[in-house]
Structures are given as C-alpha cells and as structure tokens.
A and B are shown apart, each in its own frame.
Chain A
Amino acid sequence: MSKIQSIIVAEDVHKWYGKFHVLQGVSLTVNRGEVVVLMGPSGSGKSTFIRTFNALEEYQKGKIEIDGITLSHDLRNIETIRKEVGMVFQQFNLFPHLTVLQNISLAPIWVRRSPKAKAEELAMQLLERVGILEQAQKYPGQLSGGQQQRVAIARALAMQPKIMLFDEPTSALDPEMVREVLDVMRNLARDGMTMVVVTHEVGFAREVADRVILMDSGSLVESATPDTFFSHPKEERTRKFLSQIL
C-alpha cells in the first residue's frame, strides 16, 4: 500500500560540489496529492534537493524513486521520469524564440508525439486555466513576469505530469504579480496535484501546504503541518528562521 501511496521517495541523498557537502543525507517521502513546501535560508540546498528529483542535479549517494521508478544514470530512464515531473523555475525560462502557444505545445508534440492540433487544443485549455488565453500568439518577451510564470506553469502541465516541482516560482516577480501566480498554484493544489514547492511565501504555505519542511545546511531540520510549523515549531533552528522571515 505504501508503495502506491508514496510518489516521491528520496533516501539518504548526498551531494558534494567538490569538497562542499550540499546535501548531507536527505530523506523525504511525498504522498500522492500532497503539497510539500520547502523553506530554508539561501544556500541550504533546497533547490538542489528538488532538482535531483528530475535529474537536473546529480547526486553521489542515496536513492530516489519517482512513481515506482528508481532514478539511474541511464538517459532513457531519466527521460521517462522527466516526462512525469513538471518543473517551474525562478527565472521562468520560457523559450524566447517561440510563441506562448508553441512554448506550451512543444513538448507534447515532440516528446508525447501527440498531433499538432490536439497539442494546441490542450495548450489553449491550459492557457484558459491559467487565465491568459488572449496571449497565445505573443512572444514571452511581450508578457509581464507574472504572465510569463503562468505560461511556464501551463508549459509544465502540458506534459500532464504526475508531480509538479516549483523552484522559488515567485522570487523573481514584482510584488503585485506574486498573487496571480500563487492563485494558479493554489488551484492546482486543489485539483489534487502532487506538488513540491520551494518558496518563502508564508501565506501560501499556511493555506495550501499539507506539510512544511525547514531545510538548513543540506539537511532537513523540521517537518510538520503548517499549523505546528508556524505556531509551535519544535526545533530552535526553525524558531530562529521564522523570526527572521515573519
């Protein structure tokens, strides 16, 4: 039962950048439909950690299992896993030479081999879902940061992933645009998407997360429900961190 229930299983993951030990044996299990928020000071390894889930970062020791498939060095294995794991980046990373519609339909057409018409129909549905249907024919450079990030979310969703990873999705946005992106993420969580989110948005974490985790110096410090995490944290380190950001 637990095998079916848990969709991400990371066990004792270690990573070194040269001599620097970024991930010092991190273990995490995420259940289907769960929303996990990772917090922590910069340089604590939270981004690095979630980037190991879709093999954008290599790790030297430990084991990661995504939806029952163990991540290996084999390229085909990595590509299989990447199809199931959507990712949203801090800097959006939209493809500037393609229109919004092309950005979203690219991967379904080339990776999922779906017909162009069908991929574009899906893309339009997703654009409607993130609320920018009218921008389909524009280029990313013509959109605001918030709109770009919503396109990036739609692009990741177009592969119909089982898991969505968010790497500080609102950190590069002007304050007035943060909300439109968080709203999209909130709806996504409501629809039952499994999400791992690295963010400093306390309000979002309180409201949406099933679990909030503090990471520091490459290890998990505390993992608790948002209520416990923000109101009665057990660890001294968590209390210190919260006093700095609240």
Chain B
Amino acid sequence: MTNDKLTWLRKNLFSTWYNSLLTVVCLVLLFWAVQGILTWAITQAQWAVIQVNLPLFLVGRFPQTLYWRTWIVVAIASTLGAITGGVFFGKQQLTKRGIALFAFIISVFLIVLPLDFTSRLWLLLIASLLFAGFWLGGKFTKVLTPWLSLLWLLSFPIVLWLIGGGFGLQPVSTNLWNGLLLTLLMAAVSIVLSFPIGVLLGLGRTSNLPVVRWFSILYIEIVRGVPLIGILFLAQVMLPLFLSADVRVDRVLRAIAGLVLFSAAYMAENVRGGLQSVSRGQIEAAKALGLNTALVVLLIVLPQALRTVIPAIVGQFIGLFKDTSLLSLVGLVELTGIARSILAQPQFLGRYAEVYLFIGFIYWVFCYSMSLASRRLERQLSN
C-alpha cells in the first residue's frame, strides 16, 4: 500500500475515534452480508431452475423450431444498437482493454450458459455483429448519422414480422410470445409510442388554445390519479365489454395501449418541465425572425426543452420498462409472468430466491444500460 492510499484512508475513514468505530462496524456488517449471500449462492441455492428453464425465461413458449427467428431479431437489435453506440461514443477508440473485457464476457457467456451448439454459434455471431457495428458506427459516423432513426424505425415492422410471422412466415400467436421477449417488445413499443404522445400532451398543456389545453389537463390529471394496475385491468377486462363482439383487440396490443396511455401522461409532465425552462427571449428571437408558431416550437423550443429533461425522460422509460412486470397480474406471461409459472413447476417449488434474483438481475441489466446511455447522451449534447 502506498503512502497516498494510507493518507486517504486515515483522512476519510479513521479521522476521529467515532469515524473509526463507524468504519469498523460497517466493514463487519458488509463482510457478514457478503459472506451470507455468497455462501447461500454457492452452497444452498439450486441454480438448476434457471439452467433448465433458460429458454423459457427468454422466449417462453415460442415454438422451438422457430428460435432462429428470435435470434435474427436479437442480431438486428444488437447490430443497430452497436452502430448507434458507435456513432454516439465512437470518438473514444476501442481500447485493447475494452476489447479484451468484451471478449472475456462473451467467452464466459459461451462457457457458463447451458446452451446447445447452434445457440453458441448464434451468440458468437451476435458478439461479432456487436463489435463490427460499434466499429462501423465510429468509423462512418458522418454517413450513418442521418440514416440511424430511419433504420430503427424500419426495424420495428421487421422485428414484429419475424416474431409474429405471416407474409410467408409461419404465424405465431401472441399468447406464445412470452418471457423476456415479450417484456422487451412491450417496453420498446410503449416507449416509442408514449414519447410523441407525451410531447403532444405536454405542448397541449401549455397551449394558448383553451380546448386543447383543457383536454390535455383533463387527460393528464385523470390518468395520473389512477394506479397503473387499474388502467391495465381496464384495458384487459373492460375494453372488450365496450367494443362490439366482432372487434377483437389482441391482449398484447391492449396491454401496450394501457402502458402507453399511462406513460404518456407522465411524459407530458416531464416535457412541460422542459418547456418552462426555455426562456421567453428564445421564443421572441425566433418569432422576430418571422418563424411561425409551429416552427418556433419544432426548431427552437422542443430541442432545448427535451435536452434539459433527458434524465427525467429516461427515468420515465426505466419506470415503464419495469412496470411491464405488472402485466403478469393481468395474465400476460412476460418475464415476471413466466417466473411465476416456472415457480409452479412441481420440481422447482419454493425456489423463489433463485428465480426472482435471476429476473431481477435481467431487469437491472437493461435498466442500468438505459441509465448509462442517458448519461453518455447528456454529456454528448452539452457542448
């Protein structure tokens, strides 16, 4: 231990007798907790429940013969994600350490995960696509930037086609879309749809037109006053009662509608916060140049408003992603739902801790990635 570290320790952890005492107590508690968890995880926990059911967690009852379609979906999403990452953060060149870490994680995945040979091949392919995409995004930033949003937009119908089938592919009914697949799909579609609706409602709430303003306020306040689970029940149970018998809206679609309607109201409030942060002078300067109201909003107000509320909006997205777990209560078998049905398997009764820790970890990985991306995005945009 160098002298620097010793000084740091003394200054920050052992400066007075009570600080020393606190440090020691905390260390003991920490050791005790970590030891307990590790002992449990290694000696007592029976991870077989995860191992055996891994495909179930990921895609549920999706037909095994059609797994290749979900692999292509993952490949498309990874490639686009990697290219986007490369475009935004490609300026930091790929370091040797980064590459090594990436290769290490992939090899751990390949070795530890109980996968068959084809899945390993797919995983390897996806890993290389991730790598290539990031490299491409960093290398051809200028060429790729204008196409990015279009590519993402285009990927949506393709992904839906690959999962749902039709148009030459064998159709897969929505009650076979389960597990993480369903969670990601619902979260992605809800996020993409609730964002523009939320922006419109946020603008509506600050509008000068009384009808628009009152409608927005009414909508936002009603939705914000109702628990999400209530809206989800409403969408699943009551919507079919209102619609005539021959109009059948799919369960997944109804779930997404519920999530979007709920999330849009909160999004609107976030956007409104951003709108208020744009100074009057900005609007006056834009008007003085002859820009009409729509252009003032689109070119001057919204870009500045949204920039200031990126953290809040991403927080909202993270919340929405986790809220999809509530859909397990209205009978959708997404990640939490599949966990519940796996826990009902006779040979794995009582393995709550393993299963919930595992899905908790999956939720965490995605949420943390989002918050990491948002922090990077913020830094990128604050020029």
Q: Which residues of A contact B (CB under 8 A)?
A: 54, 56, 75, 79, 82-83, 85-87, 89, 91, 93-97, 106-107, 110-111, 139, 141, 152, 155-156, 159
B293: which A residues are within 8 A, CB to CB? 75
Total CB contacts across the A-B interface at under 8 A: 57
B289: which A residues are within 8 A, CB to CB? 82, 106-107, 111, 155-156, 159
Q: With A and B bound together, what is the CA distance between A54 and B279 in angstroms?
A: 19
A54: which B residues are within 8 A, CB to CB? 288
**Considering the complex of A and B, which 10 residue pairs feature the smallest CB-CB distances, nearest first?**
A93-B285, A107-B289, A83-B290, A87-B288, A93-B281, A82-B290, A111-B290, A97-B303, A139-B383, A91-B281
Report whether B281 and A89 are in contact in the complex, using a CB–CB cutoff of 8 Å: yes
A95: which B residues are within 8 A, CB to CB? 282, 285-286, 300, 304
The answer, yes or no, to whether B287 is at the interface (CB within 8 Å) is yes
B:280-304 near A, CB below 8 Å: 281-282, 284-293, 295, 299-300, 303-304
CB distance from A169 to the nearest CB of B (A): 13
Q: With A and B bound together, what is the CA distance between A54 and B288 in angstroms?
A: 7
- A sample of 17 more A-B contacts (CB under 8 A), given A87-B288, A107-B291, A111-B289, is A56-B284, A56-B287, A75-B292, A75-B293, A82-B290, A86-B288, A93-B281, A95-B282, A95-B300, A96-B304, A97-B307, A106-B289, A106-B299, A107-B289, A107-B290, A110-B291, A159-B290
B303: which A residues are within 8 A, CB to CB? 97
Report whether B281 and A97 are in contact in the complex, using a CB–CB cutoff of 8 Å: no
Q: Interface centre among B281, B289, B307, by most A CB within 10 Å?
A: B289
B295: which A residues are within 8 A, CB to CB? 110-111
B:362-383 near A, CB below 8 Å: 383
Closest to B284 in A: A56
A96: which B residues are within 8 A, CB to CB? 304
CB distance from A103 to the nearest CB of B (A): 9
Q: With A and B bound together, what is the CA distance between A87 and B303 in angstroms?
A: 23
Q: How many residues of B contact A (CB 8 A)?
A: 20
CB distance from A88 to the nearest CB of B (A): 9
Q: With A and B bound together, what is the CA distance between A82 and B304 in angstroms?
A: 23
Q: With A and B bound together, what is the CA distance between A80 and B205 in angstroms?
A: 28
Q: List 8 A-B contacts (CB under 8 A).
A: A56-B287, A82-B288, A85-B288, A89-B284, A93-B281, A95-B300, A111-B295, A155-B289
Report whether B383 and A141 are in contact in the complex, using a CB–CB cutoff of 8 Å: yes
Q: With A and B bound together, what is the CA distance between A55 and B304 in angstroms?
A: 24
Closest to B382 in A: A141
Report whether A79 and B292 are in contact in the complex, using a CB–CB cutoff of 8 Å: yes
CB distance from A168 to the nearest CB of B (A): 13
B284: which A residues are within 8 A, CB to CB? 56, 89, 93
Given contacts A110-B295, A110-B299, contact A97 B290 (CB under 8 A): no
Q: With A and B bound together, what is the CA distance between A125 and B188 in angstroms?
A: 46
Report whether B304 and A97 are in contact in the complex, using a CB–CB cutoff of 8 Å: yes
B55-77 vs A, CB cutoff 8 Å, 1 = contact: the mask equals 00000000000000000000000
Q: With A and B bound together, what is the CA distance between A89 and B280 in angstroms?
A: 12
CB distance from A205 to the nearest CB of B (A): 23
B288: which A residues are within 8 A, CB to CB? 54, 56, 82, 85-87, 156
B287: which A residues are within 8 A, CB to CB? 56, 82
Closest to B288 in A: A87
Q: With A and B bound together, what is the CA distance between A91 and B292 in angstroms?
A: 22
Q: With A and B bound together, what is the CA distance between A63 and B287 in angstroms?
A: 21
B299: which A residues are within 8 A, CB to CB? 106, 110
A91: which B residues are within 8 A, CB to CB? 281
